[in-house]
Structure 1
Amino acid sequence: MELLGGDLELGANSNFTFIYDRQKGIIPAVAKVFPNEEHRFCLRHIQENLKKQWKGKELSDLVWECGRATKLNHFKYAMDELKKMNDEAHAWLCKIPAETWSKSYFSGHTLIVCLNNLCEVFNAKIEEGRDKPIITCLEYIREYLMKRLCVVQKEIDKCQGELSTTATIILEEIKTQAAKYVAKYNGAGKYQVVSTWQDQYVITGFPSRHVVSAIWNKIENGEDAPNVEDWVHPCYKLSTWRAMYLNKIDPINGRSMSPKSDCPFTLAPPKHHTQVRRLKKKRMRGVDEPNSQTTKLSKKFLAVTCSKCHNKGHNSRTCKGQGGIGEVGSKGKTQGKGKTQEKGKTQGKGKGNLGNSIK
């Protein structure tokens, strides 16, 4: 943590926020090196740990509602509902400080996020190069970033408007919800926003549906009011997105073009110790998280077709000649319309009867 602080030029009094997955070694280390930092726990990891003991979609949804609550009253209401559903899970969750995982207790000096998705995405992208030597791994990351910047730049060039693509979609959803509210002005610069329901959800960095309704009311009354897009946090602006991808990564020559070192001695490689088993490359997945990395599709709920009789419901190993009309049955036998004739038996000529036929 001290080396990380030196690389990022962080001091003991810096206003950075650390978010991690409640590892026991990191918690005291961050508290010692950065005593004034804000500490947060990833809500996804909290949910995964809770599901190991208490499963259920309704219980998980209540945990997410507690974490996403932006008001203390909403947080307490969600916790009470959680207690009614499962008292033991509620007691387990209460042991974790709410200021580390619920938005209602966050200070607000940084963006209100409760997930470390940035770290998860980074680990997923370097999966193919993370087990390589350090130089090869860094070269893999450099090439990926070089291509990624080019791809995103093409998407930025297609965008129009003031906000980024995702921010525009979120703001349009807020506007749709704001149409269901009625703003009432009190004459002193304050508004009472009323709706048919009593819930309130605030999306971080965006004006809430209540603010949008109040802005529309000011515009209808002929008052000066900024555009709704002006209330969005600068990090969601298209100009910020364009500035982030403005700098590009230049291609470099290979090792054959590298200058020869003047070092008088040869650096020996470090001692290699072969592990007992193959090193794990993929991350550990949750209890009910689907394994999307598998290369084979599940055959569950699929009808099997027999290669002998071409009927569904069984395979060639369990086929007992249960084919349909006119289809090939078991070896050495053929099926006719309603009758089966054994091999070697022929029909009588001129008499129209079947010799030794079996119905």
Structure 2
Amino acid sequence: MRKVIAIDGTHLYGKYEGMLLSAVARDTENHIYPIAFFVVDKKNDASWTFFFEKLKSIAVDGPNLCFISDRHKSIANGITKAYDPAQHGYCMRHLGKNLRVNHHCREHFYLFYNAAKAYSPKEFSYHFVEFKNYCPEAAFFFEHKLGFEKWSKAYFFDNRCDVMTTNIAESVNAMLIDEREYPVASIFNSIAKRFGEIFKERRAYVLKCKDKKFVPTTEKILRDNMSEGNFFYVKNISGDERQYTVFGSGCTAKVDLLERSCSCRKFDLVKIPCDGLFAIEAR
């Protein structure tokens, strides 16, 4: 399981109503990995705090653990009480919806997306300044009320693993739309059965690939990076074993293997570290 957990809640439509809370992550194959489900009467501080306290027995607290959710105050309060070192970020899509509805920046919210997904502070600053020129009130809110570290990839305290939204949790909610009308016991029985069948299929698939060094998704990424990297030329101009100049695809970039970002012209080159190996990917 990747150490990034998407948190969400959805309404139940049975006789007693209530809410179904869920914690969902992704595995190394980018498959949805459901962790926990919980039924409560409503979403409030007591419900979310109890949910996170129970979740700690499965997802151990630590500074490398990250939660992604919407801006519901009870979620933030529950994470603060139950998970102290863990990080908490906001869903980019929910913030974008708030931007369009409350700040009326529908035409320019793509600039906010560009800033949120930027890898380096330099790239982030470029997009955010442009966004600020068009939507100054919204930019003030994102900078001073929320803080860059809550929603931007460049300033987040730890690795979000490119999980910028709670879409994986909402996909599970959509999958369980029929179960939301069942009695509580039937909800959990159906969840256990459906995901048990899915895990059985995944396990059979993985056993076929057990002799490979990487899972299929990672192997494909590495193979594609190596193919694209064959068209790049690398020179060690400074003599430093960790610093290189990369030429190719109409751009020039200076890459430091021990830094997260690199300086370049025309467009960015991003290095992808993988077990001590470094591939250069154009984006």
Q: Do structure 1's residue 183 and structure 2's residue 234 form an aligned pair? A: yes
Q: Which has the higher contact order (CA 8 A, sep 6+)?
A: 2
User: What does 1:45-56 align with in structure 2 at a 5 Å threshold?
Assistant: 45-52=94-101, 53-56=104-107
Identity among equivalent pairs (%): 21
- Tell me by how many angstroms 1:102 deviates: 1.0
- Tell me by how many angstroms 1:82 deviates: 1.5
- Tell me by how many angstroms 1:136 deviates: 0.6
User: What does 1:64-213 align with in structure 2 at a 5 Å threshold?
Assistant: 64-94=113-143, 95-108=145-158, 111=161, 113-157=163-207, 159=209, 161-185=212-236, 186-195=238-247, 196=251, 197-200=265-268, 202=270, 211-213=278-280
Structure 2 residue runs without a partner (length 5+) = 1-48, 252-264
In structure 2, distance between residues paired with 1:150 and 1:29: 33
Give CA deviations for 1:168-195 in whole Å, capped at 9, x if unaligned.
Answer: 3433443354345432224331222334
Is the Cα contact below 8 Å between 2:52 and 2:82 reproduced in 1?
Answer: no
Q: What's the counterpart of residue 72 of structure 2?
A: 23
In structure 2, distance between residues paired with 1:174 and 1:81: 31
Counterpart code for 1:211: F
Q: What's the counterpart of residue 312 of structure 1?
A: none
Alignment RMSD, CA only?
3.3
Is the Cα contact below 8 Å between 1:20 and 1:40 reproduced in 2?
Answer: yes
- Tell me by how many angstroms 1:147 deviates: 1.6
Q: 1:4 aligns with which of 37, 52, 71?
A: 52
Is the Cα contact below 8 Å between 1:66 and 1:79 reproduced in 2?
Answer: yes
- Tell me by how many angstroms 1:34 deviates: 3.1
Is the Cα contact below 8 Å between 1:50 and 1:89 reproduced in 2?
Answer: yes
3-state SS, counterpart of residue 130 of structure 1: helix
In structure 2, distance between residues paired with 1:174 and 1:12: 34
Counterpart code for 2:242: K
User: What does 1:227-266 align with in structure 2 at a 5 Å threshold?
Assistant: none
In structure 2, distance between residues paired with 1:205 and 1:211: 5
**In 2 relative to 1, CA 201–19 (structure 1 residues): closer, same or farther, beyond 3 Å?**
farther
In structure 2, distance between residues paired with 1:163 and 1:86: 45
In structure 2, distance between residues paired with 1:204 and 1:125: 33
Q: What's the counterpart of residue 36 of structure 1?
A: 85
Q: Which runs of 4+ in 1 moved over 6 A?
A: 10-13
- Tell me by how many angstroms 1:120 deviates: 1.6
TM-score of the superposed pair, with normalisation by structure 1: 0.50
- Tell me by how many angstroms 1:156 deviates: 3.1
Structure 1 residue runs without a partner (length 5+) = 215-359
Is the Cα contact below 8 Å between 2:52 and 2:79 reproduced in 1?
Answer: no
Counterpart code for 1:63: F
More strand by share: 2
Aligned length: 210
Is the Cα contact below 8 Å between 1:111 and 1:204 reproduced in 2?
Answer: no
Rg larger in structure: 1
